[in-house]
Amino acid sequence: MAKDGSQGMSALLEPIALANRSTITLAEDIRADNETLSPVRHNDVMPAIIRAEKFCLYYGVKAGVKDINMDIFPQSVTAIIGPSGCGKSTFLRSINRMNDLIPNVRSEGTLYVNGVNVYDGRINLVNLRQQVGMVFQKPNPFPKSIYDNVAYGPRLQGIRGGRLDDMVETCLKDAAIWEEVKDLLGKSALALSGGQQQRLCIARALATRPKVLLMDEPCSALDPIATSKIEELIVGLKNAYTIVIVTHNMQQAARISDCTAFFCMGELIEYDATNIIFTKPSRKQTEDYVTGRFS
Amino acid sequence: MNIPLRQWLDRLFTSLAMLSVLLIVAAMIGILLPMVWRGGSAVVFRGTVEFRRMQLEQFNRGDSAAVRAEAEDAARIRQHAYEILDRFAAGLDTSELETKVKQLHREFGVQLANREIPQKQLSELRSVSKELRDELLKAFEAEDKTQVLEHLDAVMSHSGDERLKGTVAAEFFDLARQYRDTVANVDLRRRSEYADSLKQVKDAMRSLFGPRPGERLPALPIEQYGSTRWDQAKQNLDKLLWAESWTGSGEGQTLTKSRIPREEQFAGTALAGLFPYVRDNIQGMLRPKWTFYWQYFTDDSMSGHYFGGVGPEILGTLLITMFAIAFSLPVGVVTAAYLVECAGDGWLTRILRMCVNTLAGVPSIVFGLFGLAFFVIYLQPKLGLPGSSSIIAGSLTLGLLVLPVIIRASEEAIRTVPQAYKEASLALGASRFRCFMSVTLPVATPGILTGLILSMSRAAGETAPILFTAAVAMGPIPTSLSQPTRTLSYSSYDMAVGDKMAMLAPHNQFGMVMTLVAIVLLLNIAAIVVRGRMSKKLRGQ
């Protein structure tokens, strides 16, 4: 039985949770595991919410990511950086199994979310994705009204009526967009600006009440002002959610993240507290990349 | 490539593109304008008094008193023409005169028998009467003018006979005098020629003015009225005023058509006066008035589309099209969704796709025969319906015909829904079905509607698939789906090939085709408006 106390998740994934021998590993154990990189060395009792063990993902025969061992901790922002094609997004999308949409995808190893191996055959994808929200690179609100966009997730869970209205309002407030759209809820989401659309997408992702929020370069299509708003929002959301963000912008990673993972060629090169990665990385490759000497 | 050359090529391609656009526009105008022009004449035309009479009597439409008064006015002017015709016909056609003469002789005999006169005088008078009769009959039969006059003179020589004064026999002399007048004007040797031509004149008169007043009304409505339309009247008038004949110059030579005015043909006869009279008074005889016959679109047709409108045809076309779409749209969209979202790319899917493509290329008559064999002959009796053509069988056949179009269009529309929408939906925890229903399908709807537009137009215009499965040329308005119906496409086909109606009522044929095109256009416009609204909404405007 899960020991992490995340009753919601374990309730949803009861059979799978039961099937796992040791679903929660303390930071102490992770270090003892030696292979698993963990930046949180000072807090031995903090349980990881996402844990990859020798995780590999192949597109046909080509490896997208290989041999990832990584712990991601709750209520923190974890940035994943690395050159293009290094497998950052692949790893991120592996967490909520969005890679399943691509034909001929195959995985090896295990990836635990809240103590449940999401690559277990019996996993309920609907539940997983409600627990692990995702924000995409390009703002992709549905061509529906603002209200309907936010209400999409809750409606799937069967929430209706006044409770839904409250939820939409809360999520829009959490995503710091309520003031801008409160009078336009019936208007099409596509009429919003790019930055607003992205915050709306965040609100939409929050509306399923996830534990984890995955963000795949959420600011790459936005201007600096919109970017700074999103960044503020991410920092604000940290207290309630676990955020994993893929970014090309190293300043952004430095500004908002607690831990940073550096990926290269499908491998996790270094994973540590952000200030360590950006000031005294232990690997030459990481240093070259963060200082811009990477070629 | 240097810049001037590029510019030149650019201009060349631009002008070529412009040219093709212009060609298409010209073709559209060249096809549509004459059709609308001629088809429009089924609705807007100069209707004659005959038309108003027909509307009143057949459809109970219009001001009864006014129409009757108008018809009487026209009849008064026509009367003179009929009189001229009768006077001439009397001279030409002596059989009536002959019977009259024989009757006179008998009546005289009866009159004599009732009188108290001596036997000798009686037999004398009888023989005189007999002689008069025979002389008159000979005069009527003779073709030579001098002979006729000889016989008539022989009759007239008895006119001084005191004994005959005040008796029926006196009428013999009236007849002889009349006939002498007629003969003075008519060339008796051309009698047979006149008889032919007179028949044509009578026919033309009949098609202009309908049956003569007092004549027994024919059973068919088509024969009860004269020219209802001014354009029709002008054609018939032409037939009245001109004699057409085909003459050959010799053996093996092509025949040439020659037109001679009937006035010339009948020159010197009593009939010659008819033609200028009709020509000058035709307006008064028919009283053409501009008519807007909007009921053309609602009226039932009569006598095989000679009169009336295309109401049942429009109804049938709409019914069949709607039911065909109602059948093929859900099936088509579900099939497309399966092919795109579920089927993957196996060999089975490839075969399926190939089948759909092949189906799209099957000639429509093959669908028609399939519909006949399967729906009409096989399926309907199994379901307890009569094994004859029905709306439902035609709709299903048409539905099969347009199915590939809908499948292909829907497939394309579903395939082009941005992956981002699907990902967003799935990432929010939607199942694939919910994702399809709530995101993919609404976004794909404008594209699906495009396919719908194409198939609606096709279904409304197709003839071959409903030829054996749903359509009839004539028949009652259907009251259930298991009855056949008339449709615009089939009726215009039937009019063109079935009988001479297309020649007699060309406006109706054009009107039918125009209505069909208008219906297809209206359906398209409606679907385009709906699609435009939807995609506008999807774009967030």
Give tens-digit pLDDT for B74-110: 888 888 888 888 877 766 667 777 888 888 888 888 8
> Rounded to whole angstroms, how far apart are CA atoms A2 and A11?
10
- Burial category of B434 from C-beta neighbours within 10 Å (exposed 0-12, middle 13-18, buried 19 and up): middle
Interface residue of B345, B349, B428, B445 to substitute, partner A, most A CBs within 10 Å = B428
**The predicted structure's pLDDT at residue A295:** 54
Count, in order, helices (H) and strands (E) of chain A.
Answer: 13, 10
Nearest CB among A98, A157, A189 relative to B427 is that of: A98
**The predicted structure's pLDDT at residue B226:** 87
DSSP state for residue A71 in the 8-state scheme: E
CA atoms within 13 A on the CB side of B464: 11
SS (H, E, C) B342-381: HCCCCHHHHHHHHHHHHHHCCCHHHHHHHHHHHHHHHHHH
Q: Which residue in A197, A198, A285, A291 sits closest to A245, CA to CA?
A: A198
Q: At what angle do helices A161-174 and A194-206 cross, to 10 degrees?
A: 130
**B427 to A133: CB separation less than 8 angstroms, yes or no:** yes
Q: Which residue in B289, B290, B284, B282 sits closest to B73, CA to CA?
A: B284
Nearest CA in chain B to A190: B540
Residue A22: pLDDT band with limits 50, 70, 90: very low
**The predicted structure's pLDDT at residue B172:** 81
> Rounded to whole angstroms, how far apart are CA atoms B369 and A65?
59
Q: What is the average pLDDT across A168-172?
A: 90
**The predicted structure's pLDDT at residue B322:** 92
Give the mean pLDDT of chain B.
85
**The predicted structure's pLDDT at residue B190:** 67
- What letter represents residue B483's amino acid? Q
Query: Residue B201 is encoded by which pair of tokens?
Result: 């004149």
Q: What is the average pLDDT across A13-25?
A: 36
Name residue, tokens 């406006």: B507
Least confident of A119-123, A282-286, B237-241, B371-375: A119-123
**A208 to B439: CB separation less than 8 angstroms, yes or no:** no
**The predicted structure's pLDDT at residue B91:** 65
Chain-centroid distance, C-alpha B86: 32
**A136 to B422: CB separation less than 8 angstroms, yes or no:** no
**The predicted structure's pLDDT at residue B399:** 94
> Rounded to whole angstroms, how far apart are CA atoms A177 and A149?
13
Phi, psi of B434 (to 5 degrees): -65, -40
**A156 to B434: CB separation less than 8 angstroms, yes or no:** yes
- Would you say A38 and A71 are in contact if contact means Cβ atoms under 8 Å apart? yes
**Nearest CA-CA distance, residue A103 and chain B, Å:** 9
- Would you say A30 and A135 are in contact if contact means Cβ atoms under 8 Å apart? no
Helical H runs in B41-63?
Answer: 49-59
Interchain CB contact of A187 with B (< 8 Å): yes
**A189 to B540: CB separation less than 8 angstroms, yes or no:** yes
Query: Residue B310 is encoded by which pair of tokens?
Result: 């295309």
Interchain CB contact of A134 with B (< 8 Å): yes
CA distances from B138 to A13, A64, B92, B149, B164 (A): 123, 122, 15, 10, 21
Query: Residue A39 is encoded by which pair of tokens?
Result: 């930046």
Query: Residue A164 is encoded by which pair of tokens?
Result: 């839904």
Contacts of residue B291, defined as CB under 8 A and 6 or more positions apart, other chains included, come to B44, B45, B46, B47, B51
Architecture field, domain B307-538: Orthogonal Bundle (1.10)
Nearest CB among B422, B423, B429 relative to A126 is that of: B429
- pLDDT at residue A38 tops 60: no
**A142 to B422: CB separation less than 8 angstroms, yes or no:** no
**B429 to A127: CB separation less than 8 angstroms, yes or no:** yes
Single pTM value for the model: 0.75
| Strand positions, DSSP E, B390-496 | none
Give me the residue spans of the domains in chain B: 47-83+189-292, 93-183, 307-538
- Would you say B270 and B185 are in contact if contact means Cβ atoms under 8 Å apart? yes
Interchain CB contact of A220 with B (< 8 Å): no
Nearest CA in chain A to B444: A143
Interchain CB contact of A112 with B (< 8 Å): no
Q: What is the pLDDT of residues B139-176, one digit of tens each?
A: 777 777 778 888 888 888 877 777 777 777 778 888 88
Q: Which residue in B125, B129, B122 sits closest to B102, CA to CA?
A: B129
Q: What is the average pLDDT across A26-37?
A: 41
> Rounded to whole angstroms, how far apart are CA atoms B367 and B466?
9
Contacts of residue B116, defined as CB under 8 A and 6 or more positions apart, other chains included, come to none
End-to-end CA, chain A: 47
- pLDDT at residue A10 tops 50: no
Q: Which residues of chain B have pLDDT under 50?
A: none
Interchain CB contact of A191 with B (< 8 Å): yes
What region does B540 belong to: left with phi over 0, alpha with psi -120 to 50, or beta? left
**B537 to A208: CB separation less than 8 angstroms, yes or no:** no
- The interface predicted TM-score (ipTM) is 0.80
CA distances from B69 to A90, A226, A260, B60 (A): 92, 85, 102, 16
**B539 to A153: CB separation less than 8 angstroms, yes or no:** no
Phi, psi of B442 (to 5 degrees): -60, -40
End-to-end CA, chain B: 44
**The predicted structure's pLDDT at residue B260:** 84
Query: Residue B85 is encoded by which pair of tokens?
Result: 């015709």
In DSSP terms, B45 is beta-bridged to: B291
Length in residues, chain B: 541
Residue A109: CB atoms within 10 A of its CB come to 17
Contacts of residue A40, defined as CB under 8 A and 6 or more positions apart, other chains included, come to A27, A46, A71, A73, A259, A273
Strands B289-292 and B44-47: antiparallel
**CA dihedral angle for residue A12, residue A55, residue A216, residue A126, rounded to 10 degrees:** -20
**A142 to B430: CB separation less than 8 angstroms, yes or no:** no
Query: Residue B329 is encoded by which pair of tokens?
Result: 């749209």
Phi, psi of B255 (to 5 degrees): -80, 145
> Rounded to whole angstroms, how far apart are CA atoms B170 and B164?
6
- Would you say A25 and A228 are in contact if contact means Cβ atoms under 8 Å apart? no
Residue A239: CB atoms within 10 A of its CB come to 8
**The predicted structure's pLDDT at residue A44:** 47
Nearest CB among B427, B442, B538 relative to A129 is that of: B427
- Would you say B370 and B465 are in contact if contact means Cβ atoms under 8 Å apart? no
Q: What is the pLDDT of residues A60-97, one digit of tens each?
A: 888 888 888 888 888 889 999 988 888 888 899 888 88
**B538 to A205: CB separation less than 8 angstroms, yes or no:** no
> Rounded to whole angstroms, how far apart are CA atoms B325 and B331?
10
Residues in chain B within 8 Å Cβ distance of A113: none
**B539 to A136: CB separation less than 8 angstroms, yes or no:** no
> Rounded to whole angstroms, how far apart are CA atoms B296 and B317?
16
**B421 to A140: CB separation less than 8 angstroms, yes or no:** yes
Nearest CA in chain A to B341: A101
Query: Residue B165 is encoded by which pair of tokens?
Result: 């004064």
Nearest CB among A101, A143, A207 relative to B443 is that of: A143
Phi, psi of B112 (to 5 degrees): -65, -40
**Nearest CA-CA distance, residue A135 and chain B, Å:** 8
- Would you say A168 and A147 are in contact if contact means Cβ atoms under 8 Å apart? yes
- pLDDT at residue A24 tops 60: no
- What letter represents residue A75's amino acid? Q
